[in-house]
Amino acid sequence: MVLPTSSAITFKTLRVTRVTKDTGIIKSIAALIGLADVALPTSSRLWTLSDAWRDAPADLRSLRDDLANTERFSVRWQR
Protein backbone atom coordinates (compact mmCIF):
# COMPACT_ATOMS: atom_id res chain seq x y z
CA MET A 1 0.00 0.00 0.00
CA VAL A 2 1.40 3.35 -1.06
CA LEU A 3 0.49 6.37 0.99
CA PRO A 4 -0.06 9.61 -0.91
CA THR A 5 2.67 12.12 -0.52
CA SER A 6 2.09 15.64 0.62
CA SER A 7 2.61 17.09 -2.87
CA ALA A 8 0.06 14.66 -4.36
CA ILE A 9 -2.53 15.73 -1.82
CA THR A 10 -1.80 19.40 -2.45
CA PHE A 11 -2.07 18.98 -6.23
CA LYS A 12 -5.37 17.13 -5.88
CA THR A 13 -6.69 19.86 -3.56
CA LEU A 14 -5.60 22.61 -5.97
CA ARG A 15 -7.23 20.83 -8.91
CA VAL A 16 -10.54 20.42 -7.04
CA THR A 17 -10.40 24.05 -5.92
CA ARG A 18 -9.75 25.23 -9.47
CA VAL A 19 -12.59 23.12 -10.91
CA THR A 20 -14.91 24.43 -8.23
CA LYS A 21 -13.86 28.03 -8.95
CA ASP A 22 -14.34 27.54 -12.72
CA THR A 23 -17.76 26.00 -12.13
CA GLY A 24 -18.71 28.96 -9.95
CA ILE A 25 -17.73 31.38 -12.71
CA ILE A 26 -19.72 29.43 -15.27
CA LYS A 27 -22.74 29.37 -12.96
CA SER A 28 -22.42 33.13 -12.42
CA ILE A 29 -22.31 33.77 -16.17
CA ALA A 30 -25.31 31.49 -16.70
CA ALA A 31 -27.19 33.35 -13.96
CA LEU A 32 -26.43 36.71 -15.60
CA ILE A 33 -27.61 35.42 -18.96
CA GLY A 34 -30.81 34.12 -17.37
CA LEU A 35 -31.37 37.43 -15.61
CA ALA A 36 -30.90 39.35 -18.86
CA ASP A 37 -33.27 36.95 -20.60
CA VAL A 38 -35.99 37.86 -18.10
CA ALA A 39 -35.12 41.53 -17.62
CA LEU A 40 -35.15 42.60 -21.28
CA PRO A 41 -38.74 41.53 -22.11
CA THR A 42 -39.94 42.80 -18.75
CA SER A 43 -38.43 46.23 -19.24
CA SER A 44 -39.87 46.37 -22.75
CA ARG A 45 -43.34 45.62 -21.39
CA LEU A 46 -42.90 48.24 -18.68
CA TRP A 47 -42.01 50.87 -21.29
CA THR A 48 -45.11 49.91 -23.30
CA LEU A 49 -47.26 50.20 -20.17
CA SER A 50 -45.67 53.55 -19.34
CA ASP A 51 -46.47 54.88 -22.80
CA ALA A 52 -50.05 53.65 -22.56
CA TRP A 53 -50.42 55.23 -19.12
CA ARG A 54 -49.10 58.53 -20.46
CA ASP A 55 -51.76 58.49 -23.22
CA ALA A 56 -54.56 57.44 -20.86
CA PRO A 57 -55.94 60.94 -20.03
CA ALA A 58 -56.36 61.83 -23.72
CA ASP A 59 -57.94 58.44 -24.41
CA LEU A 60 -60.36 58.89 -21.50
CA ARG A 61 -61.37 62.34 -22.73
CA SER A 62 -61.94 60.90 -26.19
CA LEU A 63 -64.05 58.08 -24.75
CA ARG A 64 -66.06 60.57 -22.69
CA ASP A 65 -66.73 62.67 -25.80
CA ASP A 66 -67.74 59.59 -27.79
CA LEU A 67 -70.14 58.50 -25.06
CA ALA A 68 -71.67 62.00 -24.91
CA ASN A 69 -72.12 62.03 -28.70
CA THR A 70 -73.73 58.57 -28.57
CA GLU A 71 -76.07 59.67 -25.80
CA ARG A 72 -77.12 62.81 -27.75
CA PHE A 73 -77.69 60.70 -30.87
CA SER A 74 -79.74 58.17 -28.90
CA VAL A 75 -81.90 60.92 -27.32
CA ARG A 76 -82.57 62.50 -30.73
CA TRP A 77 -83.32 59.14 -32.32
CA GLN A 78 -85.91 58.26 -29.65
CA ARG A 79 -87.93 61.46 -30.21
3/49 Cα distance (integer angstroms): 68
Span 1-57, pLDDT tens digits: 455 555 555 555 555 555 566 677 888 888 889 888 888 888 888 888 888 888 888
Domain that holds residue 33: 9-79
Q: Report the number of distinct structural domains present in the chain.
A: 1
Type of residue numbered 21: K
Secondary structure letter of residue 17 according to DSSP:
H
**Residue 3 within any structural domain of the chain:** no
Query: What's residue 70's pLDDT?
Result: 93
Type of residue numbered 19: V
**Assessment of whether the complete model's pTM goes beyond 0.85:** no
Query: What's residue 51's pLDDT?
Result: 85
